[in-house]
Every structure is written in structure tokens, then in C-alpha cells.
Amino acid sequence: MALFDVVIIGAGAAGLHCAAHAARNGLKAIVVDHAKQAGKKILISGGGRCNFTNMYASPENYLSSNPHFCKSALSRYTQWDFIGLVAEYQIPYDEKTLGQLFCDESAKDIVRMLLDECERYGAKVQLRTEVLDVDYEQDTYRINTSQGQLSASKLVVACGGLSMPKLGATPLGYQIAEQFGHSIVPVRAGLVPFTLHPPEKEAFAELAGVSMDVAANANDGHFSEAMLFTHRGLSGPAMLQVSSYWQPGEAITVDCLPGTDALEWLQENQAKQPKAQLNTVLQQLFAKRVVTQLGAYHQWPLTHRLANISKKTFQTIAEQLNQWQIKPNGTEGYRTAEVTLGGVNVDEVSSKTMQSKLQPGLFFIGEVLDVTGWLGGYNFQWAWSSAYACAEGL
Ligand code: FDA
């Protein structure tokens, strides 16, 4: 049996970063993963260029049943700490939009950097090693894997959430948490495209691939970003963001003209060009096929001259433009979700060290916890920050 100070399950963003820091602090650390490759999600993230953090990351960008939980870790290892590491490795990067930092070349640069950090400080990374089960006896964790048994006085669970099972996601982290008495805040897919009911799906099928700037709301989530029509429903950053706030059965509100009062705009145009058709004036705002499809769906009098359209009709159109209520059928689920909402209940975990309050020597970091960031580099920042807090507390 191989003996370590700490065994970390999951060679993803959080596990690799934690292993390097634990080893740097003098611990004999090993990180194990059933995948053939470390950091698979990092490699495909950000379209292969990894949005590795956000310049404006702060606790307000995270969802959790306890919104205070993430504060300590985020303040002790900030986006600037991680940016400093990226700079040390001379990885070229740039801000794309809204503070989102992406590699200029490839996400591989981030994985290579994390693996180099593990090597630099002597943390062992062992892949193709499935964790079968874990037990605890006489202050020691025994981790049974497909490659034999490991033992350590500290166990870090960094095996992520359920999104993208084809990349190796499993419920192991939740199972270990429950085994040691932890409760799990119900999990569901987040940052995920919406699917639509058949009438809307058909009505907007022609628009698949079309993107427009909107302001979207679901409960407390308000986001002004792009919305993308897809063959199944609605996606794009605005929809992914609100999906984390949406509950099944609810409607989302979409303002297709953010910053413009649609009623005023229509009435001004009616006064300026009364003979123009509604169709023509709306094309000043939207692409022709968007006007055609939205018009057909909402039954707008597109071929009528503005002079002949009543105030009541304008009010209805304006409401449909500024406050379009869409009831999604559901989401695409874990198959395409970027994250898993919910997870290990953070009230049972120390916000300073990520150590279980119920079980000595057991730690949880990254996405397995009930902390979920917005789209835009926030989830990786949580992985880095929680990993560092844990390594310092081991
Ligand atoms: P992560 O999922 O990275 O790692 C968990 C590891 O545990 C995996 O390597 C897995 O193989 C391993 N594991 C699971 N079960 C196991 C078992 N039974 N035995 C052994 N090993 C096991 N975020 C962001 O900030 N910016 C971005 O650009 C993106 N982009 C993005 C794109 C896509 C397509 C997805 C799916 C996700 C993103 N994200 C993102 C989210 C981000 O990838 C995610 O939040 C982090 O990877 C979470 O890091 P963790 O280390 O917690 O889990």
C-alpha cells in the first residue's frame, strides 16, 4: 500500500492546483484520476482557449445556498494571484470581453503549467486510476483504486460535478460526502442551453445560428449579453447565464431591445414615417429574417403601414419586444451543461480550509461544492481559490 500525506481525487482544475500547493508546502501529495489525460475540461473550455479567470471576479458572481461561503477563499487567492502564475509561465493571454481572460494560443498551456507546477514541487499525478471506494480507520483514509490501494491521513475530494459525463464526470464526490455524513444540496445542470416547446421550437427553427444582443432575466439573474437561436431552443451567453437562476416551469423574460423603450421608438417612427410598413421599420433594428419569424410568431401586422396601427397594437408589440416572456420546455441537461449547481452542503465545510466539519481530514474543493460561478472564468477561479485555501489548511 502506497502511503501519502494527502490523496487528492480528481486531476481537474482544483485537484491539480491543490496538489502543487500541498507539495510546495512540504506534503507528500498524489492526485489520481480515472481519465487518460489530466484537466480534460480545461482543455475544451473557452472553445479550446480556456477562459481561466475573470478580472472582476468577486463573491457576487457565485450562486450557493450560503453566498458568504466563497468569500474567504476568493479573497485569499484572487484572480491576480492566478494571473501572476500565468505570467510567470509566460503564457500569452488577453481579455475577450467583460473581464474574461483567455489564452491567446491554447488551453493546453494552462494544463501544462499546472502539471509543471506539480512536477516542480514533487506532487505525483497518477492517471487511468479509477477510485472504487474509500474508507477511514485509525485516522487514516484508505483509497481503493483500479491500480491498488493508497493511504493518507488527509483526503481531498476534487472530482467535480455531473456535467459532461463523456469527459469523465461521475457522482463519486457526492457519494464520498454522503458516506461521511454530509448532505447534498440538490444538483441540477447550470450554464446550459434551453430547449423550447414544439410551437416555439418550430417557430424559431429558421433562426438557428442567429445571435442578438438582449437583456435576459430569470429570478435574481439579470444579464445583458448575446442570445443565440439553436435547432433545439435558445443558447448564447445570456441564456446560459439565466439558466443557472431558472427553475423548471418558469418563464424567462427577454428584452430584445435593451436600453430602448420600444413603445416610444415605434410611436416616434409612426410620427416620422407614417407610410412605412412595420416590417420595414423593424428591419432598422433586427435582421430581416428575425423580423419575419418574430412577426409571424407574435402575429404582428408586418405589412401594415405605421399610420394604420393602433396604439394598443403598438403597446402589445412593445411589450413583446421589451418584455418577451418565454417558457422553456427544459434544458439540454448535463450532456452540454458547463457546470453543476448544488453539491456538497457548504454549511458543513470550513470556508477557510475547505475541511469537513463532520469528518477529520476530509476536504472538498472546486465544483463538487455547492458554489457555482457565472459564465466568464468564474468557475475556474473558484477551483483555483478553493484549492489554494485547502492546500494551506492541510
Ligand atoms: P473537474 O471536472 O475539472 O475535474 C474533476 C476530475 O475528477 C476530472 O478530471 C474527472 O475525470 C475526475 N473524476 C471524476 N470521477 C472520478 C472517479 N470516480 N475516479 C477518478 N477520477 C474521477 N469554467 C470557466 O471558468 N471558464 C471556462 O472557459 C469554462 N468553460 C467550460 C466549458 C465546458 C464545455 C465545460 C463542461 C465547463 C467549462 N467551465 C468553464 C467550467 C469548469 O470547467 C469547471 O467548473 C471546472 O473544471 C471545475 O473544476 P474541478 O476541478 O472542480 O472539476
89-111 exposure pattern, b = at least 16 Cβ within 10 A, e = fewer: eebebeeeeebbbbbeeebbbbb
Average pLDDT over residues 95-99: 95
C-alpha–C-alpha distance, residues 204 and 326, integer Å: 12
- Which tens digit of pLDDT belongs to each residue from 59-93? 999 999 999 999 999 999 999 999 999 999 999 99
Q: How far is the CA of 7 from the centre of ligand 1 (A)?
A: 18
Q: Tell me, what's the pLDDT at 27?
A: 98
315-333 exposure pattern, b = at least 16 Cβ within 10 A, e = fewer: eebbebbbebebebebbbe
Rg value, the chain, Cα: 24
- Which tens digit of pLDDT belongs to each residue from 219-251? 999 999 999 999 999 999 999 999 999 999 999
Q: Tell me, what's the pLDDT at 110?
A: 98
ipTM comes to: 0.99
Q: What percent of the chain has pLDDT over 70?
A: 100
- Which tens digit of pLDDT belongs to each residue from 271-309? 999 999 999 999 999 999 999 999 999 999 999 999 999
Q: Tell me, what's the pLDDT at 108?
A: 98
pLDDT bin (cut points 50, 70, 90) of residue 1 is confident
- Which tens digit of pLDDT belongs to each residue from 317-363? 999 999 999 999 999 999 999 999 999 999 999 999 999 999 999 99
Identify the CA nearest to 30 among candidates 48, 41, 18, 43.
18
pTM: 0.97
Nearest atom of ligand 1 to the alpha carbon of 387? 51
87: Cβ contacts below 8 Å, ≥ 6 apart: none
Identify the CA nearest to 308 among candidates 347, 276, 353.
276
In the predicted structure, residue 124 carries a pLDDT above the cut 90: yes
Which residue out of 45, 109, 111 has the highest number of ligand 1 atoms within 8 Å of its CB and is therefore the one to mutate?
Answer: 45
| Averaged pLDDT of the chain | 97
- Which tens digit of pLDDT belongs to each residue from 152-203? 999 999 999 999 999 999 999 999 999 999 999 999 999 999 999 999 999 9
307: Cβ contacts below 8 Å, ≥ 6 apart: 270, 274, 275
- Using alpha carbons only, what angle is made at residue 128 by residues 122 and 131, rounded to the nearest 5 degrees? 90
Q: How far is the CA of 12 from the centre of ligand 1 (A)?
A: 6
Which residue owns the Cα nearest ligand 1 atom 26? 377
Query: What is the separation, in whole angstroms, between the first and last Cα of the chain?
Result: 22
Ligand 1 shell residues, CB under 6 Å: 9-15, 33-35, 40-41, 44-46, 50-51, 130-131, 158-160, 163-164, 168, 170, 172, 338-339, 366-367, 377-380, 383
Which residue owns the Cα nearest ligand 1 atom 53? 160
